Amino acid sequence: MNHETILKMGRYRELSLKDADPGVVKNLHRFMLRLRRCEEALIAEYHPADEMKCPIHFCIGQEAVPAALSVVIKPEDYLFSHHRTHGFYLAKGGPMNSLFAEMYGKATGASGGLAGSQDLSMPSVNFCSGAILSGATALAVGAALGFQRQKKKHVAVAGFGDGASDEGVFWEGLNYAALHKLPIVFVCENNRYSTYSPQFKRMASENISERVATFGVTARTVFGNDVMACTSMLREMVEGARAGRGPYFLEAFTYRMNSHVGPEDDSYVGYRPKEEFDFWQQNCPISLLEERMVEQNLLSAPEKEKILKKINSEIAASFEFAKKSPFPGNAEWSKLNYSRGSPLADQLLKDCELKEFNQNQADTIPGPY
Ligand SMILES: Cc1ncc(C[n+]2csc(CCOP(=O)(O)OP(=O)(O)O)c2C)c(N)n1
């Protein structure tokens, strides 16, 4: 599967609710609707008021993968994401009001108002993100190594885009994870573009997962707007990683509907063909699921209204919370997600040194070296 082959298939018809737990289906739907509405509300407020000073990378159109993760990962698992953070943050259980407060640079924000959208972290829910392309994949590999060493049954998930796989550090981390069979799931949302550069201008092969597989990693592709398919694949992968069969790589083909960054329309650049945009708009992950839910009597118009009402009041409360919260002062610096040393990393280094480092190693290598 790749973007070219997907465009040829027209309207996607394969989303199936067969054997699906109706409770899970409803959760997935609610999650996607909440994420979509929350981003639409942020977009509506972003410019007129100009109170949110940080750059924001919206993920409208890409709701299915975070929704799937929200039902398959556990609170003790860790999620490391790239700059397009909102979906992953909510998937890890980050509260909406701390997300909004972070956008406003307030002390009550997930990162104390000092990170903004693209570097958002919330240690209390094991969520961490960063704007350095593929940086989060390296952190996820480190966390997975820590879990393995400590014999913890936690899984590290790395969420990133196709552009992140252009970075060397991604392949180094992947190789290390494969070599040590680390409990990690790499989740690549392939939306075909790295800012304005299409995938076919950056890589000779349009399918990242085929290359990933050559590293000895179980790699699969999925139509990334089919939330049911994403959920079953991610469930299998997260459970596999937890059972020590990792690492795994999922390439989910999807599309962002907004500009690369900010709420403006960047179609004036002319980098995306209209037919391609229309295809993905017709295959919106929320409407694909809703269509099936209505067919199976899992959703009615009044039920949707009720869900939306609840979401809208959560959004209104989050705006109020964010706007009323104070800005961080100098006295708050000690509360930052920063430490001079990491007790976990220090311990890891000590363990490695004591148990594995062979100081006579050089003598065992036959010279000349
Ligand atoms: C090391 C590094 N190089 C370049 C950038 C600039 N940059 C920010 S986002 C981006 C494109 C990312 O594309 P992708 O990984 O596919 O994610 P998407 O934005 O499509 O979700 C680039 C090149 C960066 N943040 N870090």
pLDDT tops 60 at residue 345: yes
Instruction: Give the whole-angstrom CA distance, residue 227 versus residue 93.
Output: 18
Instruction: Give the whole-angstrom CA distance, residue 342 versus residue 88.
Output: 24
Decide if 208 contacts 3 (C-beta within 8 A): no
What per-residue confidence (pLDDT) applies to 339?
A: 58
Q: Quick count: other Cβ atoms within 10 Å of Cβ 133?
A: 19
Average pLDDT over residues 250-257: 98
Instruction: Give the whole-angstrom CA distance, residue 301 versus residue 37.
Output: 17
What per-residue confidence (pLDDT) applies to 366?
A: 55
- In the chain, the percentage of residues whose pLDDT exceeds 90 is 84
Q: Quick count: other Cβ atoms within 10 Å of Cβ 1?
A: 18
Instruction: Give the whole-angstrom CA distance, residue 67 versus residue 86.
Output: 11
Instruction: Give the whole-angstrom CA distance, residue 352 versus residue 369.
Output: 24
What per-residue confidence (pLDDT) applies to 363?
A: 55
Least confident of 161-170, 173-182, 249-258, 355-364: 355-364
Strands laid side by side in the 248-253 sheet: 121-122, 127-129, 78-81, 156-161, 184-190, 248-253, 218-223
Spatial CA neighbour of 88 closest among 113, 119, 114: 119
State pTM to two decimals: 0.93
pLDDT band at 332 (very low <50, low <70, confident <90, very high): low
Instruction: Give the whole-angstrom CA distance, residue 73 versus residue 187.
Output: 13
Q: Ligand 1 center to residue 328 CA distance, Å?
A: 29
What per-residue confidence (pLDDT) applies to 352?
A: 64
DSSP letter for each residue of 86-100:
HHHHHHTT--HHHHH
What per-residue confidence (pLDDT) applies to 49?
A: 84
Pure H helices in 8-92 = 22-49, 64-72, 86-91
Spatial CA neighbour of 240 closest among 153, 176, 174, 180: 153
- Ligand 1 site: residues with CB under 6 angstroms? 82-84, 131-133, 160-164, 191, 193-195, 260
Decide if 249 contacts 170 (C-beta within 8 A): no
User: Residue whose CA is closest, atom 3 of ligand 1?
Assistant: 133
Q: Ligand 1 center to residue 191 CA distance, Å?
A: 12
pLDDT tops 60 at residue 367: no
CA distances from 304 to 30, 53, 300, 301, 310 (A): 9, 33, 6, 5, 10
Decide if 240 contacts 246 (C-beta within 8 A): yes
Spatial CA neighbour of 31 closest among 238, 222, 323, 314: 314
Spatial CA neighbour of 22 closest among 363, 292, 213: 292
Q: Among the atoms of ligand 1, which is closest to the Cα of residue 84?
A: 21
With H, G, I as helix, E, B as strand and everything else as coil, classify residue 31. helix
Residue 77 DSSP class = S
pLDDT digits (tens, 9 = 90+) for 36-95: 999 999 999 998 888 999 999 999 999 999 999 999 999 999 999 999 999 999 999 999
One-letter amino acid for residue 364 of the chain: T
Q: Ligand 1 center to residue 132 CA distance, Å?
A: 7
Give me the torsion for CA of 94, 95, 97, 98, rounded to 10°.
-40
Decide if 185 contacts 246 (C-beta within 8 A): yes
pLDDT digits (tens, 9 = 90+) for 196-230: 999 999 999 878 999 999 999 999 999 999 999 99
pLDDT tops 70 at residue 362: no
What per-residue confidence (pLDDT) applies to 341?
A: 65
pLDDT tops 80 at residue 282: yes
Q: Among the atoms of ligand 1, which is closest to the Cα of residue 189?
A: 21
Residue 60 DSSP class = T
Decide if 254 contacts 191 (C-beta within 8 A): yes
pLDDT band at 355 (very low <50, low <70, confident <90, very high): low
User: Residue whose CA is closest, atom 2 of ligand 1?
Assistant: 133
Q: Token pair for residue 340?
A: 């001079």
Q: Across 107-116, 177-186, 338-347, which has the greatest mean pLDDT?
A: 177-186
Q: Ligand 1 center to residue 260 CA distance, Å?
A: 9
Q: Ligand 1 center to residue 181 CA distance, Å?
A: 27
Decide if 260 contacts 194 (C-beta within 8 A): no
pLDDT band at 356 (very low <50, low <70, confident <90, very high): low
